[in-house]
Structure 1
Amino acid sequence: MSSYISSLLFAPLTAKDVTLQQQLYQRIKQAILSGQLPAGTRLPATRQLANELQVSRNTVINVWTHLQAEGYVLSDRQGSRVSPMVSPHILNSADLPASLPLANRLTSLHSSHRINSEEYPLRAGVPALSHFPFPAWRRALNRVLSQTPHRLLGYGDPLGESALREALAQHLSMTRGVRCTAEQIVITEGAQQALSLCVTLLTNPGETGWVEDPGYRGAKAAMHAGDLNVIPIAVDAQGLAPEERHWQNVPPRLIYTSPTHQYPLGVVMSAARRLALIAAAQQHQAWIIEDDYDGDYHHRGEPIAAMQGMRESAPVIYLGSFSKTLFPALRLGFMVLPAHLLSHIRPALHELLRGGNRLEQQALARFITCGDFSRHLSKMRRLYRQRQAKLRTELQRVLGENVVLLGGDSGMHLVLQLQENQDDVALAAALWQAGFAPAALSTFYLADPKQQGLVLGYGNTSDTQIVAGAQQVGRLLR
């Protein structure tokens, strides 16, 4: 190991307002991204690094585990080394976001309504509604109502209430690694409106949009509504996996991906794959939509940081909502726009948006700043880990230890993989008749072959319902 790398890794951890684990993680991650630790660099043993830094070995092991989960570090019997990465000079070759093309049409889009089956167990994407902290939310609402001037009853800033945008900017920076200011955040009526806005503002009819396959149906619907040529891109163990032929034959204007927790398969996009996607998007003048729909619910180690924060000049629009973290009826989402893009499309946003839900936005801002939001997230993480473990146990008990379950590192659902000759659509319909609402995995695909499986949500499903649901699945499969 060179003296330069030794001095970089063994420098004392001195920040007082950040934990030792966070300091070490950020130091190594930034050194890898900046090229100070090139691909293939051998890293010191955890015991050696712990002794040099005078920290516990568990602190170093936790950092190594997190870096491996994100794909920055590879480990084998010989030790740990830096993963292959896209070289930084490729990413910084030009400041492209300011010059990427914008749409020349602005149209109103209407999303379709889905069947209301939230009360059905095993439906994916629905949080534990009975565990929502009504007293804390009521306090926030009452505080706003007691201090609300009449002006708050009128139209607000089309981009959203400044108090909520400031609270969100701080929360996203601390918990998701997002690089943004409050001015870059636009409050929307859920993530679906944000998706539609991206299509409306950034594309023209006939251009190409890429979606994950299998992937979120709402993204496909938004692109189809914008008259885009929708191209399915297969997902592998490292996430969205475009090939060179895709970039050459069907270059995209818009790329939709859920890198932190791919929906529905649950895989995490590796750091190398993320950097490669950013570099290729810059080269081909494409925009990336990063949907971080449940990134706050990571069940193993530290949360996986957002792709948006990996590069300051990344052409990434970061999306999120409070449908999974609070409750769907709140209908509040947001998108974080690149700073250069905002100045170009601000006039269009002022025409398309009207700044509604002002009281709820103000209450949510208080809910976040007073710490109630973080406390609720912590409780839900514990609850969802318990429910996932229960669902795994029951499925293994009913179907055997060899049952294949996909995902589970994050979120509120698992995928039960079925055999090719089993009809997941018919199975999902039979479960619906029995009072359960899992989704058929094959319905999330656009291209063949379509994998058979069941997308099983456990967020809004009690232990008793999990047991009954697993037994019903077992009966139908037998």
Structure 2
Amino acid sequence: MVPRPLPSPTALLESPLVKERDAGSMQRQLHDRLKRAILDGSLAPGSRLPGSRALAEALTISRNTVTATYEHLAAEGYVRPDRQGTRVTELSSPALLPKRAGKPAGTPTTALRLSNIKPSVSRAETDMALRPGVPALSHFPSAAWRRALDRAIRGAGSAALGYGDPLGEPPLRAAIARHLSVARGVRCEPHQVVIAEGAQEAISLCVRLLSNPGDIGWVEDPGYRGVKAAMHAGDMRIVPVRVDAEGLCVSERDWQKHSPRLIYTTPSHQYPAGSVLSIARRLDLIAQARLHGAWIIEDDYDSEFRHTGEPIGAMQGLVDDAPVLYVGTFSKTMFPSLRLGFLVLPAQLMSAVQAPLEEMLRGGHRHEQLAMADFIESGQFSRHLGRMRRLYRDRQQALRLALNKHFKVPHEIEGGYCGLHLTVRLPERYDDRRIATEALRHRIAPTPLSGFALQPMPLDNGLVLGYGNTPAELFEPLVKRLSQLARAVEI
């Protein structure tokens, strides 16, 4: 190799090293500047660095500082020492590579599937009024939850600081199985329950376990946006299926033309329309799924809060060995930041997916899982649900009254028999997205109904109003303001 010219020591640095504390140590300053000079090509590959004594004298710093810096750069691979000194290593520096024509520098290349995942219509803050999907956070029994956490931490000891069972803590899986059997009519054993970080991860697991790229997934239209993101991330082909007053409306032609691998539905309380999937459609969906080799993802996200009559049982428990994967979450019954959900897998699937699941998952939130098991088994969870049912029933009725009294535009109210939201359908001349955008300026966060639709139709125009985290006494002034905003955008 032909020796490169020895660079001037002072040419290596655009300014002298400084001794101020905020500037970092002399060694750190010298290291960062030499590294930058190597990466940007100022110090070319093969260049010999100044001797440690010469550089130390030129910079008026300790020779030990220079020696330590050179040793650090050598350990990182930027330079290598030889008998003639210290030379810059041959590197494929990004700064020295030729730029590709037609592609701006710095433009990242991402997976093509990301273009199918669209952002939410809005990112409203949790405490904004009328935001859907947020429970009554101020009514959560924090003291009881803190005691459950304390018991979990004391009881588990240091062992719970390590990795746990990848499928979830056994006490929580057993507690969930018992609760679902009584409260939702779900047929399962504890070993069929998999703990996930919320319903979204549970749905993503369904996609990863049961679909291949190009498989068809049916989703409700309008419906939950998160499932669309999960299916797009799995390179599935999404087919929207309309919902009506009886829930998911599937025709024989749908089965023949777009036979699915996965079917996503919210049968006990359709999100966002609020309808309930009729028993005839439930049984037919199960029978057809068996016939076509499809799997049903049943998302039971807020069905604990039934406001009239007896709770509607889960579809999973209707028949033996139903091809149904049951998804649930504690984000509505407890609080969203808990990030605990669960997936109940069919017994016939467990032998095939258990080993892959144990490799895909690592377990976590062990103290929270153990505390949640204690919260359920101690009866605190059931008592909390009872209090919240009464609160949400009162708030739903108050919001309905406020809409009937103060919402002075033509509208139709849907839902209200379950959950935490009402849907208000509007004529096309009231643009729901414009209303929602204007409402955010007043810290009111309804979600436009059209934002839930993959193939929007004229009837998909309206507002989804959450009443879970908004006090009832605020409904009248809030509805009056929404009414004003709706009339202001009327076409």
Q: TM-score, normalised by structure 2?
A: 0.73
**CA distance in structure 2 between the partners assigned to 1:351 and 1:468 by the alignment:** 53
**SS state of the match for residue 148, structure 1?**
helix
Q: CA 1:392–1:219 in 2, change beyond 3 Å: closer, same or farther?
A: same
Q: Indicate conservation of the 8 Å contact 1:439/1:456, yes or no.
A: yes
Give the Å deviation of 1:198: 0.6
Q: CA 1:236–1:112 in 2, change beyond 3 Å: closer, same or farther?
A: closer
Give the Å deviation of 1:132: 0.4
5 Å matches for 1:304-383? 304-383=312-391
Q: CA 1:331–1:287 in 2, change beyond 3 Å: closer, same or farther?
A: same
1:246 pairs with one of 249, 254, 271: 254
- The answer for the alignment partner of 1:210 in structure 2 is 218
Q: Indicate conservation of the 8 Å contact 2:324/2:345, yes or no.
A: yes
- The answer for the alignment partner of 1:453 in structure 2 is 462
**CA distance in structure 2 between the partners assigned to 1:169 and 1:448 by the alignment:** 38
Q: Which amino acid is 1:457 matched to?
A: G
Alpha-carbon deviations, 1:181-215, whole Å to 9, x = none? 00000000000001111111100001100000000
Q: Does 1:192 align with 2:200?
A: yes
- The answer for the alignment partner of 1:14 in structure 2 is none
Q: Indicate conservation of the 8 Å contact 1:390/1:463, yes or no.
A: yes
Give the Å deviation of 1:425: 0.4
Q: Indicate conservation of the 8 Å contact 1:161/1:358, yes or no.
A: yes
Q: Count residues in correspondence.
A: 370
- The answer for the alignment partner of 1:159 in structure 2 is 167
Q: CA 1:259–1:291 in 2, change beyond 3 Å: closer, same or farther?
A: same
1:468 pairs with one of 474, 477, 480: 477
Alpha-carbon deviations, 1:451-473, whole Å to 9, x = none? 11000000001123322211111
Give the Å deviation of 1:401: 10
List, as ranges, runs of 4+ consecutive aligned residues in structure 1 with deviation greater than 2 Å: 110-116, 399-403
**SS state of the match for residue 406, structure 1?**
strand
Give the Å deviation of 1:449: 1.3
Alpha-carbon deviations, 1:376-420, whole Å to 9, x = none? 000000000111111111111112597410001100000111002
Q: Which amino acid is 1:475 matched to?
A: Q
**CA distance in structure 2 between the partners assigned to 1:449 and 1:397 by the alignment:** 28
**CA distance in structure 2 between the partners assigned to 1:370 and 1:390 by the alignment:** 33
Q: Which amino acid is 1:346 matched to?
A: Q
**CA distance in structure 1 between the partners assigned to 2:119 and 2:362 by the alignment:** 21
Alpha-carbon deviations, 1:332-385, whole Å to 9, x = none? 000000011011011111111111000000000000000000000000000001
Q: CA 1:149–1:112 in 2, change beyond 3 Å: closer, same or farther?
A: farther
**CA distance in structure 1 between the partners assigned to 2:145 and 2:404 by the alignment:** 38
Q: Which amino acid is 2:227 matched to?
A: A
- The answer for the alignment partner of 2:300 in structure 1 is 292
Q: Which amino acid is 1:277 matched to?
A: L
**CA distance in structure 2 between the partners assigned to 1:219 and 1:301 by the alignment:** 29
**CA distance in structure 2 between the partners assigned to 1:194 and 1:357 by the alignment:** 16
Q: Does 1:180 align with 2:183?
A: no
**CA distance in structure 2 between the partners assigned to 1:242 and 1:471 by the alignment:** 39
Q: Indicate conservation of the 8 Å contact 2:289/2:323, yes or no.
A: yes
5 Å matches for 1:217-256? 217-256=225-264
**CA distance in structure 2 between the partners assigned to 1:425 and 1:448 by the alignment:** 13
**CA distance in structure 2 between the partners assigned to 1:225 and 1:402 by the alignment:** 39
Q: TM-score, normalised by structure 1?
A: 0.75
Alpha-carbon deviations, 1:156-187, whole Å to 9, x = none? 00110000011110000000000000000000
Q: Indicate conservation of the 8 Å contact 1:195/1:222, yes or no.
A: yes
- The answer for the alignment partner of 1:261 in structure 2 is 269
Alpha-carbon deviations, 1:50-91, whole Å to 9, x = none? xxxxxxxxxxxxxxxxxxxxxxxxxxxxxxxxxxxxxxxxxx
Give the Å deviation of 1:112: 7.8
Give the Å deviation of 1:115: 2.9
**CA distance in structure 2 between the partners assigned to 1:399 and 1:204 by the alignment:** 47
- From the CA coordinates, give the structure whose radius of gyration is larger: 2
Q: Which amino acid is 2:163 matched to?
A: Y
- The answer for the alignment partner of 1:392 in structure 2 is 400
**CA distance in structure 1 between the partners assigned to 2:484 and 2:247 by the alignment:** 33
**CA distance in structure 1 between the partners assigned to 2:449 and 2:473 by the alignment:** 24
Give the Å deviation of 1:148: 2.0
Q: Which amino acid is 2:345 matched to?
A: L
Q: Indicate conservation of the 8 Å contact 1:264/1:455, yes or no.
A: yes
Give the Å deviation of 1:117: 1.1
**CA distance in structure 2 between the partners assigned to 1:233 and 1:141 by the alignment:** 43
Alpha-carbon deviations, 1:264-306, whole Å to 9, x = none? 0000001110000000000000000000000100000110000
- The answer for the alignment partner of 1:280 in structure 2 is 288
Q: Indicate conservation of the 8 Å contact 1:395/1:403, yes or no.
A: no
Q: Indicate conservation of the 8 Å contact 1:158/1:350, yes or no.
A: yes
**CA distance in structure 1 between the partners assigned to 2:315 and 2:394 by the alignment:** 28
Q: Indicate conservation of the 8 Å contact 1:384/1:412, yes or no.
A: yes
Q: Indicate conservation of the 8 Å contact 1:396/1:402, yes or no.
A: no
**CA distance in structure 2 between the partners assigned to 1:400 and 1:304 by the alignment:** 34
Q: Matched residues, percent identical?
A: 55
- Report the more deviating stretch, 328-337 or 466-475: 466-475
Give the Å deviation of 1:149: 2.1
